Amino acid sequence: MMGRWSARVADPFLDWLALPPGLDWLDDGCGNGSFTEVLARRQRPASLVGVDPSPAQLAYARERPGLPGARWHAGDAQALPLPDASVDAAVMALVLFFLPDPALGLRELVRVVRPGGTIAAYHWDMAGGGFPLQAILDAVRADGHGLPPPPSNWVSSPEASQTLWREAGLVGVQTACFEVQRAFDSTDQVWRSAQGNPRLRALFASLAPEARERLQARVRDQLGAREGQPLVLRARATAVKGRRP
């Protein structure tokens, strides 16, 4: 599910980066390759590397038809399996707030990017309520279920992202916000889509049937759903970019 949301940000994000074709790219925390595939189509890179800690996600990414020339590595964003100064541009799509130490992850990107190269990221503005499934999170917490946020939620605001990039020694630092939306036919479709989020999926599976039904009813109330009318969920992403001097 998050791949569909991420793809809605990918094009405006790449427009904003305004980088030429033919560069060597790294997609750090590439997951199942959803953003990587858009990057390949849009940027026509000279080379493209995807790094992710999940072998299952990488296996899915390898099967994407738009990525025949990409190289894939299992690895940690805080200890990238790449040599120094080996790419022209490095991006993290919906990754930074999951890192226990975002500053360390950013230092790794600085290490592998060549001087003059671009380092950029986008992430849901979790601190500002920009998560696509915010209504479900609110319902979950209102129903008394503990669901801890990602470890580095604080980094998701434009101000925090800008500060992190500047403290890493990057120059020309800029931020932007992208608002996207997605239409759903019903709350049931929203509920099914939420299964794509691992934390929510695990929570739903742990609930007794009556507790799950109660939570679904609260979600319907939270969304203000009306019978027979489509629902539109909105999300907001923070983007940040800078250059290695």
Q: Tell whether 229 is covered by a domain.
A: no
Name the DSSP class of 168.
Answer: T
Q: Tell whether 93 is covered by a domain.
A: yes
pLDDT at 136: 83
pLDDT(245) > 80? yes
Q: For residues 188 and 101, give the distance between their C-alpha atoms in angstroms, rounded to a whole number.
A: 36
Please tell me the pTM assigned to this model: 0.89
Q: Tell whether 120 is covered by a domain.
A: yes
For the ranges 47-56, 81-90, 158-167, 213-222, the lowest mean pLDDT is seen at 213-222
Instruction: State the alpha helices, DSSP H only, in the chain.
Output: 2-17, 34-43, 55-62, 102-112, 134-142, 158-167, 187-194, 198-206, 209-223
pLDDT at 177: 97
Q: Under a CB-based contact definition with an 8 Å cutoff, are residues 11 and 42 in contact?
A: yes
**Span 164-179, average pLDDT:** 98
**Span 138-163, average pLDDT:** 87
CATH number, domain with residue 69: 3.40.50.150
Q: What is the pLDDT of residues 30-39, one digit of tens each?
A: 999 999 999 9
From residue 24, give the alpha-carbon distance in Å to each of 13, 32, 240: 18, 20, 19
Q: Tell whether 142 is covered by a domain.
A: no
Question: Which carries the bigger pLDDT value, residue 13 or residue 212?
Answer: 13
In sequence order, which residues have a C-beta less than 8 Å from that of residue 186 and are 6 or more positions away?
225, 230, 231
Q: Tell whether 217 is covered by a domain.
A: no
Q: Tell whether 141 is covered by a domain.
A: no
Q: Tell whether 81 is covered by a domain.
A: yes
**Span 143-153, average pLDDT:** 81
Strand partners, 233: 182
User: How many folded domains does the chain comprise?
Assistant: 1
Most confident of 146-160, 212-226, 231-245: 231-245
Give the number of residues written for the chain: 245
Nearest residue to 89 (alpha-carbon basis) of 114, 69, 70, 107 = 114
Confidence of residue 232 (pLDDT cuts 50, 70, 90): confident
pLDDT at 1: 46
For 155, the domain range is 2-130+149-182+234-243
pLDDT at 197: 78
Burial 163-201 (b: 16+ CB within 10 A, else e): ebbeebebeebebeebebebebebbeebbebbeebeebe
pLDDT at 227: 57
Q: What is the pLDDT of residues 48-71, one digit of tens each?
A: 999 999 999 999 999 999 999 999
pLDDT at 228: 60
Count Cβ atoms below 10 Å from residue 119 Cβ, excluding itself: 25
Name the DSSP class of 156.
Answer: G
Name the DSSP class of 196.
Answer: T
Query: What phi, psi does 126 have (nearest 5°)?
Result: -60, -40
